[in-house]
Chain A
């Protein structure tokens, strides 16, 4: 009667399991079990010698982006504007839903049009040059909250477009529409601010 695998493992690991003295004695007398124990050692040694597997791409940028997002959210919470951000998101949802009616066009046409609208809003935002303007704390907080949401949406869009199975056009369209709604609100924040200061 030879040793079972669990007995061989117990013998290898600690040697203090119940019955290990008998098992040890058996191995000393049984060539087959001694060879089995040696094969077990060899197998584990080979596993430990396997080369380390490496990631196919650098993920640090995504880690850093999520860390930045979390820090910004924490800052917003500390500033007590969580409620403001929530209210803004609800308004944006309604605006987005009303402005972007689905219509009867094919999803791909709607997707193209929505992406173009998003690009136009990007250009409008760049023309306003918000980074070079003096902004009050309230506006800065609302803008930062919107930027966070856009960054998060961009990550979701990137993931949806990169996925092997492929998101449906309807799913992509929904994400792009959400982006247009957020971009529209962000442009609006900066336009309103510019009008208030007569720029």
Chain B
């Protein structure tokens, strides 16, 4: 599965040594990890969270968790994959905590009802931003980060069917908002 952000431990000089030093509690090593993954972690967080503040909090919480849990990283997958998993989980946790989903879906349904026939054409960033949080999280994690529906379902505490349905709904909306609907 192609990845949008190919960021891996090969970007860190002597990654194994850095990981060992983080495990030993060396703050300088943690900074090396932070500098290497700061942007991709923030990007994942920001694509999922509603606000910049939430995304920045997720960024901070992610590296704290990395520091606490680096012992659990066995080196059998990419380091970025592991860090990204932490970031995505933290961002989804933030989403659940803020209880945005229900209000968003309600807002979205009302909005859709009122504006169904209004032609819309917005850029992709704006259209993604307009999606309800959960739909946006699913579309980003699946289509951009390359997670499977099973993986997304596990992170969200939902079923794969839920993930698939959120993805389909997101694409229907994106297609409409981007003005990509076929002319009948």
Q: Which of A10, A32, A56, A62 contacts B60 (CB 8 A)?
A: A62
Q: Which of B40, B46, B143 contacts A44 (CB 8 A)?
A: B143
> Smallest CB-CB separation from B62: which chain A residue?
A63
What are the residues of chain B within 8 A of A78 when measuring CB–CB? Answer: none
> Whole-angstrom distance from the CB of B183 to the nearest CB of chain A?
10
Contact A6 B165 (CB under 8 A): yes
Main secondary structure of the interface of B (DSSP, over half): helix
What are the residues of chain B within 8 A of A49 when measuring CB–CB? Answer: 4
Query: Does A77 interact with chain B (Cβ within 8 Å)?
Result: no
Bound complex: CA A10 to CA B171 (Å): 13
Q: How large is the interface on A (under 10, 10 to 19, 20 to 34, 35 or more residues)?
A: 20 to 34
> Smallest CB-CB separation from A7: which chain B residue?
B168
Q: Which of A10, A43, A54 has the most CB of B within 10 A?
A: A43
Given A48-B144, A55-B38, A64 and B27 contact (CB-CB distance below 8 Å): yes
Bound complex: CA A46 to CA B64 (Å): 32
Given A43-B174, A50-B125, A67 and B42 contact (CB-CB distance below 8 Å): no
Given A5-B172, A55-B55, A63 and B180 contact (CB-CB distance below 8 Å): no
Query: Does B78 interact with chain A (Cβ within 8 Å)?
Result: no
Contact A53 B46 (CB under 8 A): yes
Per-residue CB contact flags for chain B residues 159-171 toward chain A (1 = under 8 Å, else 0) read: 0000011011101
Per-residue CB contact flags for chain B residues 10-51 toward chain A (1 = under 8 Å, else 0) read: 000000000000000101001100110011101100110000
Stretch in A34-42, A101-109, A176-184 with 4+ CB within 8 Å of B: A34-42
Q: Which of B27, B35, B55, B167 has the most CB of A within 10 A?
A: B27
Contact A63 B30 (CB under 8 A): yes
Query: Does B63 interact with chain A (Cβ within 8 Å)?
Result: yes
Query: Does A199 interact with chain B (Cβ within 8 Å)?
Result: no
Query: Does A68 interact with chain B (Cβ within 8 Å)?
Result: yes
Contact B124 A67 (CB under 8 A): no
Bound complex: CA A63 to CA B168 (Å): 38
Number of interface residues of B (CB under 8 A): 44
Q: Which of B4, B34, B67 contacts A48 (CB 8 A)?
A: B4
Given A35-B182, A53-B46, A67 and B60 contact (CB-CB distance below 8 Å): no
Contact A47 B144 (CB under 8 A): yes
Bound complex: CA A70 to CA B63 (Å): 13
Q: Which of A4, A40, A47, A64 contacts B4 (CB 8 A)?
A: A47
> Whole-angstrom distance from the CB of A82 to the nearest CB of chain B?
19
What are the residues of chain A within 8 A of B139 when measuring CB–CB? Answer: 47
Per-residue CB contact flags for chain B residues 95-134 toward chain A (1 = under 8 Å, else 0) read: 0000000000000000000000000000011001000000
Contact A53 B47 (CB under 8 A): yes
> Whole-angstrom distance from the CB of A190 to the nearest CB of chain B?
27
A44-B143, A47-B140, A53-B55 are known; give 4 further A-B pairs, CB within 8 A.
A6-B168, A35-B182, A53-B47, A67-B30
- Pairs across A and B, CB under 8 Å, 12 listed: A5-B172, A6-B165, A9-B168, A9-B171, A47-B139, A47-B143, A48-B2, A53-B55, A54-B39, A54-B43, A64-B27, A67-B30
Chain A positions near chain B (C-beta within 8 angstroms): 4-6, 9-10, 32, 35-36, 39-40, 43-44, 46-50, 52-57, 59-60, 62-64, 66-68, 70-71
Chain B positions near chain A (C-beta within 8 angstroms): 2, 4-5, 25, 27, 30-31, 34-35, 38-40, 42-43, 46-47, 52, 55-56, 59-60, 63-64, 67-68, 124-125, 128, 139-140, 143-144, 164-165, 167-169, 171-172, 174-175, 178, 180, 182
